[in-house]
Amino acid sequence: MAILKIARMGHPVLWQKAAPVSDPGAPEIRRLVADMIETMEDAFGIGLAAPQVHVPLRLFVFRVPPGRASGEPDDGEIGNTVLINPEVEPVGDDIRVHWEGCLSIPGLRGAVPRPWRIRYRGVDCAGNLVAREASGLHAGVVQHELDHLDGILYPMRMRDFRLLGFTEELARYSADPPAPAAERA
Ligand code: NI
């Protein structure tokens, strides 16, 4: 396995619409997924999409760490998960704003409005269907990663750019700052 270089905002690979994965079980896809999980853990991230490691394919890895989930039924701890050729749809019309960070935008956090509850599906490297409902952090990270597959970075979802800032300044000045170890994905 290997730790991969993460593309930062400004690199054109992050603006591309990624292509579907034709063979999720191919050895090179399994190797990529293993390397992406190692890279995500090394960077203390909770999500990583293939375009962030310069591979414009529709797959991402994510996890929901213990103690960070909201505690709602669809937002518990989840171990390392891969989703290939994912589809996501909102459930209901509840939109909430949460702090997000991105491994491709180091040092910054932004408050992003997104649907609170979603339904998603995709396949894993064995071709098994992965289909779940999710809410809270779980739903947020999946939506953040799906956006990476469509060339969208979280600031493009923001409505109030005063809520985009460096983590240390937000911790000092925001009335509702991001958690010290707030998620990056
Ligand atoms: Ni990101």
Residue 14 lies in a domain: no
Asked whether the predicted pLDDT for residue 90 surpasses 70, the reply is yes
The verdict on residue 185 lying in a domain is no
C-alpha of residue 144 to centroid of ligand 1, in Å: 6
Query: Is 145 a known active-site residue?
Result: yes
Residue 66: per-residue pLDDT: 81
Domain that holds residue 38: 23-180
Q: Which of 145, 168, 169, 183 is catalytic?
A: 145
Q: Which two tokens stand for residue 173?
A: 């000045």
Domain membership flag for residue 121: yes
Q: For residue 65, what pLDDT is reported? A: 86
Expressed in angstroms and rounded, the spacing between residue 49 Cα and the centre of ligand 1 is: 7
Instruction: With respect to residue 18, please indicate whether it lies within any of the assigned structural domains.
Output: no
Tens digits of residue pLDDT in 102-119? 999 999 999 999 999 999
Please give the share of the chain, as a percent, with pLDDT higher than 70. 98
What's the total number of domains in the chain?
1
Tens digits of residue pLDDT in 48-87: 999 999 999 999 999 998 877 777 777 888 999 999 999 9
Q: Which residue did the predictor score with more confidence, 1 or 118?
A: 118
What's the CA-to-centroid distance between 175 and ligand 1, angstroms? 24
CA distance 10 to 178: 24
Instruction: Enter the tokens of residue 165.
Output: 């800032």
pLDDT at 43: 95
Averaged pLDDT for residues 136-159: 97
The answer, yes or no, to whether residue 182 has pLDDT greater than 80, is no
For ligand 1, the distance from its centroid to the CA atom of residue 51, given in whole angstroms, is: 10
The pLDDT of residue 149 is above 70: yes
Note whether residue 94 is domain-resident: yes
In a domain? residue 145: yes
Asked if residue 51 belongs to a domain, the reply is yes
Going from the Cα of 156 to the center of ligand 1, the distance in angstroms, rounded, reads 12
142 C-alpha to ligand 1 centroid (Å): 10
CATH number, residue 35: 3.90.45.10
- Evaluate whether residue 119 is within a structural domain: yes
Q: Which residues, at least 6 apart from 179, have a Cβ–Cβ distance to it below 8 Å?
A: 68, 99
Q: How far apart are CA 53 and CA 49, in angstroms?
A: 7
